[in-house]
Amino acid sequence: MRLHIIARGKIARSPEAELVDRYMKRIAWPVRLTELPDNGGSIPAGQTPAREILLDERGKQMSSEDFAALLSKWRDTGVREARFFIGAADGHGDAARRDADLLLGFGPMTWPHLMVRAMLAEQLWRATSIVAGHPYHRSG
């Protein structure tokens, strides 16, 4: 299953970009990052079947192990792509929230969008490592 981060705004050269790049390189599953302008721009066509996950401060909070189990379940049931959407400063519209397969949150605090990319990339690496059976220090 391909993991696809679709984010509004350009990350450019920054410490956050280095973190995102570091974790993206570690992920053993196929992974892609698409940057879109803050407004407009076309979202690339996804693979079918796919799941759409919106990062949202009001979204479901999950443990790393639960997140890994969800990705594993989707992969094992034929989902070809998980698309993670990080919105612009105003977040996502009501229609996008309603149509998403999952609203995922990193807590009720507001996080800078560049940090959310790094946090998501790290959690994708962690989840795929858990699925691959690598020892996870928090298990048990």
DSSP assigned state of 58: E
Q: Which of 70, 82, 68, 73 is nearest to 131 (CA)?
A: 68
pLDDT of res. 7? 94
Task: Report d(CA 46, CA 29) in Å as an integer.
Answer: 16
pLDDT of res. 68? 97
Cis peptide before 108 (omega within 30 of 0): no
In which residue ranges of the chain is pLDDT below 50? none
Task: Report d(CA 61, CA 56) in Å as an integer.
Answer: 10
Residue-wise pLDDT tens digits, 87-108: 988 889 899 999 999 999 999 8
pLDDT of res. 138? 61
